[in-house]
Amino acid sequence: MAKAKTAYVCNHCGADFTKWQGQCNECNSWNTLSEIRLGSAHNRPAINESSYAGITRELQELCQVDLAQMPRFSTGMAELNRVLGGGLVPGSAILLGGHPGAGKSTLLLQLMCHLAQQMKAIYVTGEESLQQVALRANRLQLPTTNLQMLAETDVDSILTIMAHLKPRILVVDSIQVMHLEDISSAPGSVSQVRESAARLVRFAKQTHTVLLLVGHVTKDGSLAGPKVLEHMIDCSLLLEGDHDSRYRTLRGHKNRFGAVNELGVFAMLETGLKEVRNPSSIFLSQAQQPAAGSLVMVIWEGTRPLLVELQALVDDSHFSQPRRVSIGLDQNRLAMLLAVLHRHGGLRTADQDVFVNVVGGVRVAETSADLAILLAIVSSLKNKTLSQELVVFGEVGLSGEIRPVPSGQERIREAAKHGFKRAIVPTANSPKNNCKDRLTGIDVVGVNHLQQALEALC
């Protein structure tokens, strides 16, 4: 009988070694190597002409691939379909991450109860008992018929049952508690998560089953476990939201079947997560009295524009080094914009504390918010209120020029749809003569430099 081969894998970084050692040479961690058992290698026969002919018959030109064999099917939630790129693809592996209490299990339970009425769906829970899941489903008033449940953490047992039942969609909650008996490390370690996910993904590809994995996140918000986990799956989603907020945002960080950075918005209600069809309406806080430093900007999330309120506060500093605090924005970019404001706008904030906040908990990563940030800071610095019918977007360069941003016409059209009457935008994004008739009801002011934008506020 051939001797089983073993390897030793670091639980921190995932590096593998042929023999055990006290310290990992890659990450310098101590006592983190765990033993895993490798499959026995079989001697492959030499390749001859007949075997080569069999291989070439499996080759196919890209233009001849039949896309109709893999049709998408809807999840029943328009916001989730948007983030996924149009729906679920058979044979795809999707990883859903989020902080504890964000609503990962609630979202998947709603999805599975809906799809179970149309196809065979199985929900595998490893963190909760079947009674806990049933209580949540009854509290959310979900249809509990046809959805098959399984409380199991052993991957081999799960795959054996799935091979017999042949479901079209499978949920595993969560991948961090799954384990394999031939790996000696504890569940949640790098080796366990990597090998468990690899076997589940392989099963999904071979049987064209939609696989949904629930993943935990670390303190910094990144997915826990080995980085190779994100390479194995087809789609990585992150459910974000504060505990004191009723809204949750679902963002796609990786998607092989659609656009990345797509955003879906849900509201957490007593009956579960409810999709928000018009997210701009919840991010716009229409105060009774206009306040200095408050401004509305148009950002682009995935494939649609989003109107978000931006607030800035400039106050005298009582410290030797004034504070620069930004919530929902890059703090380094805020410092750069303040330098541009001083150099090309003639406004000095070196002795002022500057606070910038994006209302609603949205995180803005694109540069179209630059001009809105500066104008909101100027409004607070001069204690001058801006019109509630004003909307702003544009990128600001280091020389003070206002650069155009993608999809400028769609941003202006979205602002006009929500009743805004005036927009300050880059000149290159301002509508041409043949497009002005389609943007009735809004006055668009194109600017090329920061000084022109400051003059447009007067």
Taking the C-alpha atoms of residue 255 and residue 233, their distance in angstroms, rounded to an integer, is 9
Listed in order, strand segments (DSSP E) in 99-200 are 121-125, 148-151, 169-173
SS3 for 129?
coil
Q: What is the pLDDT of residue 78?
A: 92
Q: What is the pLDDT of residue 185?
A: 79
Asked if 453 contacts 371 with a C-beta cutoff of 8 angstroms, the reply is yes
CA angle, 434 then 435 then 436, to 5°: 100
Radius of gyration of the chain (CA): 27
pLDDT tens sequence for the chain (458 residues): 455 677 888 877 778 888 888 898 888 888 888 777 665 545 555 555 555 555 555 777 888 877 766 688 999 999 999 999 999 999 999 999 988 888 999 999 999 999 999 999 999 999 999 999 999 999 999 999 999 999 999 999 999 999 999 999 999 998 999 999 888 778 888 888 889 999 999 999 999 999 999 998 876 666 766 677 888 999 999 998 776 678 888 999 899 988 888 889 899 998 899 998 888 877 776 566 788 999 999 999 878 899 999 999 999 998 889 999 999 999 999 999 999 999 999 999 999 999 999 987 788 989 999 999 999 999 999 999 999 899 999 999 999 999 999 999 999 999 998 889 999 999 999 987 655 555 678 999 999 999 999 999 87
DSSP β-ladder status, 148-151 and 247-255: unpaired
Q: What is the pLDDT of residue 371?
A: 97
Name the amino acid, one letter, at 168: R
Taking the C-alpha atoms of residue 203 and residue 174, their distance in angstroms, rounded to an integer, is 17
Nearest to 456 by CA among 442, 443, 444, 445: 445
SS3 for 239?
strand
Q: What is the pLDDT of residue 25?
A: 87
Taking the C-alpha atoms of residue 137 and residue 122, their distance in angstroms, rounded to an integer, is 15
Helix, strand, coil percentages (3-state) for the chain, rounded to 5, are 30, 30, 40
Q: What is the pLDDT of residue 340?
A: 96
Name the amino acid, one letter, at 448: N
